[in-house]
A and B are shown apart, each in its own frame.
Chain A
Amino acid sequence: MVSESRGNIVFNVLTTLWTRYRLQTTVFTIFCGLWLIFYAISPSSFARPFTYTAILSVAPFTIIPALSLTYVIITGEMDLSFPSIMALGAWVLTVTWHAFGPTPLGLILALLAGLMAGFINGVLVTKCHIPSLIATIGTMFVWRGFVLIATGGFSISIGMWRGTPIYQALVGRFGGIPIQIVWAVVIAVILWIFLNLHKFGAHVYYTGDNRVAAQMLGINTDRVIITVFMIHGMLSAFAGVLVALEMGSFWPALGEIYLLESIAAVVVGGTPITGGTGTIFGTFIGGLILKWIETGILAVGVTGFWIKLVYGLVIIIALIAQVIIRKREIRRMKIIGA
């Protein structure tokens, strides 16, 4: 009797989740499905906490830029320059620390560099009217070129400061848990709150959904877009800093691998590339899915060459599922008043 009513409650919660958050539930189901598959194939590695700490120590590097990229994509824009901004931020921190030691100043300057890079992107898009895809290809090369020239193409070590308080606060371990995943969660929560509960988030959505209407109703869409690029620039720089600290070194190609991964995390998470809608939760899980695959495949014991293939398949399957869900939603909801 008791178990039956409890079963009912679970059922009700599940149906509510499904009807309200169809897309998010799908993404989450894919995530759980993958975990089950990996667990079934290789229980030994997926029963070990080490596997999870390994995933959680690298996942933030994909997830953090993907979270702020979600904002950019919701406004209907794109940013391809963030991997270079990651390198820029990491370089600024590295250079500052080598000059002044491991102080918060390095982090502050890195974040400011990211803000500035994002501001430039935003201005190019809104005031110079360059399509964001093109504008950010330009700045992508500019910032990558800049760090290459500045370092002469050499890596710079910062691993000697491992153990200092600021180092520990950014990429240390707390009870085995990598601190960087805590940062990712904190950032996700803040971005979620602003997107869903704040006026700014509403304007981000309207800017992507119907920019002309938003402008006619008095929303300064240029300012929204510039702000979104600045947030993205700052968080990309932060992610770059985390990468450098985790690896113990800055290198000029830092960030490059995250370009397509982070974009994939956003779209796998259910944000359409055309903007107007999208969720932070989806992106977070989307990022985890991609990292799950990577780690899962290695843990299962097949060669790493499989990673890309499975990546591609999962991205395609996730997108097909989303298309089906959206179509069915439209078919089920008859037009009211027609």
Chain B
Amino acid sequence: MVRESEYLVFTKNLVKRFGDVVALKGVNFRVGYNEVVGLVGDNGAGKSTLAKILAGIYVPDEGEIYVKGQRFRRLTPQKARELGIELVHQERTLAEDHPIWRNIFMGREITGPLGFLRIKEMKAAAEKLLNEIGLKAIPPDTPVKFLSGGYKQGVQIARAVQFEADLVILDEPTIQLSISEVHRVLEYVHGLKKRGKSCVFITHNIYHVYPVADRFVIIDRGKIVAEFRKVDVTPEDLTHILVSIARTGTIPEKYEKINLLNVAGSN
């Protein structure tokens, strides 16, 4: 029997409908403490929907969410943040004309009496943070529009780190990035893991997530169809499995043995 409290985040039978479309059809998803989970699947499989439910942006129609053992029917964005869940959106959530430090504190400014900004404090915190996640030598005063795609992603991750998130959900963080920039994002994820944080890395590119993930969860048409430990599979295996799912809707026989969904007691 799985105990919900063993996991940082645990969902039971999540269902989400958009009109007639059922985006999630009873999803049981879990993330351990200090674990990096690769959530992979084709476009429209329900990856982002799941992420948005965990971040409190969408309200599930059915099911439950356990965070650190606490049970919830639904989360709000504020509640999710209080619980330490930060979503780094697929869409750029940056104000391009404004400096890095303002972007990091966007919506959660450090303020003094009467709501006046503590600018010095925020700049200093931003500078420290940029150093920590490897964005050294970039002055926090730099407007975000002058950063490359990878650095922009870095600023969004820095934002999550600043607010001491325990779980950072990265929704397609490597989309539209050059090879060296993808590498940079992977380094940020390594950094999160080193700091004892957990991470859900959403992508449809196995090769981007493979180097950093501990476990892979494959979602297809609103259902989780397979889970593998990294030690059991190679990137080629995973590609093979994804192609098979896309073509036939099934997993090749030989992988069923190592599919954690079939291993007793793991789910």
- Residues on A close to B: CB < 8 A? 197-200, 202-203, 205-206, 209-210, 212-214, 216-219, 276-277, 330, 333-338
Q: B175 interface residue, CB < 8 Å from A? A: no
A-B contact count (CB 8 A): 88
Kindly identify which residue among B95, B116, B138 contacts A209, using a CB–CB cutoff of 8 Å.
B95
Q: Nearest chain A CB to B159's CB is how many angstroms away?
A: 8
Give A211 to B26 CA distance when docked, in angstroms: 33
Using CB atoms, name the residue of chain B closest to A209: B95
Taking a contact as CB atoms under 8 Å apart, the answer to whether A276 and B97 are in contact is yes
Kindly identify which residue among B111, B119, B148, B178 contacts A336, using a CB–CB cutoff of 8 Å.
B148
Q: B3 interface residue, CB < 8 Å from A? A: no
Q: B267 interface residue, CB < 8 Å from A? A: no
Taking a contact as CB atoms under 8 Å apart, the answer to whether A337 and B115 are in contact is no
Give A202 to B115 CA distance when docked, in angstroms: 11
Taking a contact as CB atoms under 8 Å apart, the answer to whether A213 and B117 are in contact is no
Choose, from B16-24, B101-109, B240-248, the stretch at the interface.
Answer: B101-109
Contact size class for B? 35 or more
B93 — which chain A residues lie within 8 A by C-beta? 210, 212-213, 216-217
B138 — which chain A residues lie within 8 A by C-beta? 336
Give A51 to B13 CA distance when docked, in angstroms: 77
Using CB atoms, name the residue of chain B closest to A272: B97
Would you give 22 A-B contacts (Cβ < 8 Å), ordered by A?
Answer: A198-B114, A198-B115, A198-B117, A199-B117, A200-B115, A205-B98, A206-B98, A209-B97, A210-B92, A210-B94, A213-B93, A213-B95, A214-B95, A216-B89, A219-B106, A276-B96, A333-B146, A335-B148, A336-B138, A336-B142, A336-B146, A337-B181
B142 — which chain A residues lie within 8 A by C-beta? 336
Q: B235 interface residue, CB < 8 Å from A? A: no
Taking a contact as CB atoms under 8 Å apart, the answer to whether A214 and B106 are in contact is yes
Kindly identify which residue among B77, B91, B147 contacts A335, using a CB–CB cutoff of 8 Å.
B147
Given contacts A206-B95, A213-B92, A216-B89, 19 further A-B contacts (CB under 8 A): A197-B116, A198-B115, A198-B117, A202-B106, A203-B107, A205-B98, A209-B97, A212-B91, A213-B89, A213-B95, A218-B107, A219-B106, A276-B97, A330-B146, A335-B146, A335-B147, A336-B151, A337-B151, A338-B178
